[in-house]
Amino acid sequence: MEEEVGRHQLVVLAAVVVAAGCAGTPAQPASTPAAPPVSAAASDTELTAAEALAAAHAQVRVSGLDERQFQPEHYWELMTPILEAAPDRFKVAEIGRSIEDRPIRRIDFGRGETTALLWSQMHGNESTASRTLMDLIAYFESHPDDPRVARIERELHVTFVPVLNPDGAARFVRHNAVGIDVNRDAKQLATPEARALKAVRDELDARWGFNLHDQNVRTRLGSTGRDVRIALLAPPPDHGATSPANAAARQMCSYLAETLEPIVGDQIARYNESFNPRAFGDLMTRWGTSVVLIESGGELADPHKERLRTANFVAIISALDAIATGRWEHSSPTRYLNLPLNAPWVYDLLVRGASIALPGREPVRADFAVNFDDTLAETGGSVAEVGDLEEVPSLREIDATGLYFVPDPRSLGPELGPYLRIGADARGVISRDPEGRDVVHRLGGSY
């Protein structure tokens, strides 16, 4: 970790440890038998509100979603018993079918007049918030007398659309089954997934919207070179414009930045507020919904983003309660606007000092960079850059000084003889000899 773990982080670490201990148990909200249930509000006198919510999350975290990749059918198998435990409080309805005929569902909670719409996994490989939404619903079901839950239920009408892109989720890829980015289909509405979300938004005339995503772990926090744990955005309604909906979202982003600091420290960034005329957040803001984008970044030490699963839990309950109480109105947008921007990506892996040995060629001394399809799992690696990369940053390095990188022949372009092509599979061995017999490290699996 890049900073000393203080008391606040230890609370979150404890929550994750408790949650991790539930892996492999039957699909039900996790519990800690040795301690009574923690009410998030009851503990506020001893902990900060965020810390109390993090502790509560450890007790309701739903087991069975311990990895980032899961099948949408499995998700609903776990969700259904939670909803059926309180049929008078949760209403479930199918709002469409995906390209491959998977159901897309909404869950409605609360009897208030102020509407809030939350949707997750419109990008199929961005699953942190989908897991959190199940934990959140489990908390609402099991803690009806918690003051926060009671306020939210009384004052708000909350609609959840989890796993909006089930076909992408089934493959753990960004796009839907025909390769369309659902978050770039808000204007054309060519996909059933986009049409379902738009219809729900219009029916509710949603006052608030929470657009829940994961961002690339390579993204840096401004000029610091550190990880981004959470990134926020209040999307604008047009190029260089603002509106009452956008102004309210900025205030909410400030409120969330302050709320989340005990959980993720100062590793909170914001997106540049450029307008995208195809994106749902931007167009929903234009349509009058105060949209808050919450992006979960990550860290190599937490490959399944359990800490950020907790951070999302804290953020969403805090935001909904702030709407129920009006507390968000006391936040100045300044804190949000002063957050460091998301900075350009760094490479996933740098191999420094190797000599690249191609068949029949003299080895050439060169560093090379690798990016993975899934940074945290380090799968699907491809060669991103080759040469003098002394000043180039990366998430991880391998010192191969005095060694050889021998590419897998299957990764070498055959045209005019073997060559190492940028974008080729980063598959091969780091070896003490140019023939690749005395292997020190393997890249890309078996060779």
Per-residue DSSP letters for 408-438?
-GGGSB-TTS-B--TTSB--EEEESSTTS-S
Res 21: pLDDT: 34
Res 6: pLDDT: 39
Say whether pLDDT at 400 is over 90: yes
Q: How far apart are CA 110 and CA 158, in angstroms?
A: 6
The tens digit of pLDDT for each residue in 14-64 reads 333 333 333 333 333 333 333 334 445 444 445 789 999 999 999 999 999
Write down the CATH number for the domain with range 7-343. 3.40.630.10
Q: How far apart are CA 23 and CA 63, in angstroms?
A: 6
Q: Do strands 156-161 and 220-221 pair parallel, antiparallel, or not at all (unpaired)? A: unpaired
Average pLDDT in the 381-403 region? 95
Q: Which amino acid is at 127?
A: S
Q: How far apart are CA 447 and CA 436, in angstroms?
A: 10
Average pLDDT in the 84-93 region? 98
State the first-to-last Cα distance of the chain, in angstroms, to the nearest integer. 33
Average pLDDT in the 300-320 region? 97
Element (H, E) at 294: strand 290-296
Res 11: pLDDT: 38
Res 218: pLDDT: 94
Residue 205: is it exposed, middle or buried by C-beta count within 10 angstroms (0-12/13-18/19+)?
exposed
The CB density around residue 216, as the number of other CB atoms within 10 Å, is 15
* CATH fit for domain 347-443, picks 3.40.50.970, 2.30.40.10, 3.40.47.10, 1.10.620.20: 2.30.40.10
Res 420: pLDDT: 86
Average pLDDT in the 232-254 region? 98
Q: What residues pair up with 291 in beta bridges, in sequence order?
A: 209
Res 421: pLDDT: 87
The tens digit of pLDDT for each residue in 245-301 reads 999 999 999 999 999 999 999 999 999 999 999 999 999 999 999 999 999 999 999
Tokens of 228: 């981004």
Q: What residues pair up with 352 in beta bridges, in sequence order?
A: 399
Q: How far apart are CA 252 and CA 245, in angstroms?
A: 11
Q: Which of 227, 226, 223, 249 is nearest to 236 (CA)?
A: 249
Res 29: pLDDT: 38
Res 38: pLDDT: 44
For the chain, the domains span: 7-343, 347-443
User: Predicted confidence band at 445 (pLDDT cuts at 50, 70, 90)?
Assistant: low
Res 114: pLDDT: 98
Mean pLDDT of the chain: 90
User: Predicted confidence band at 414 (pLDDT cuts at 50, 70, 90)?
Assistant: confident
Give the pTM: 0.86
Say whether pLDDT at 368 is over 90: yes
Q: Do strands 439-443 and 428-431 pair parallel, antiparallel, or not at all (unpaired)? A: antiparallel
Q: How far apart are CA 391 and CA 99, in angstroms?
A: 45
Q: Do strands 382-387 and 428-431 pair parallel, antiparallel, or not at all (unpaired)? A: unpaired
Q: Which amino acid is at 354?
A: A
* Structural contact between residues 35 and 70, judged by C-beta atoms closer than 8 angstroms: no
Q: Which amino acid is at 263?
A: I
The tens digit of pLDDT for each residue in 174-210 reads 999 999 999 999 999 999 999 999 999 999 999 999 9
Q: Do strands 230-233 and 290-296 pair parallel, antiparallel, or not at all (unpaired)? A: antiparallel
* Structural contact between residues 124 and 217, judged by C-beta atoms closer than 8 angstroms: no
Res 24: pLDDT: 35
Average pLDDT in the 105-121 region? 98
Q: Crossing angle, helix 49-60 and helix 128-142, to 10 degrees?
A: 90
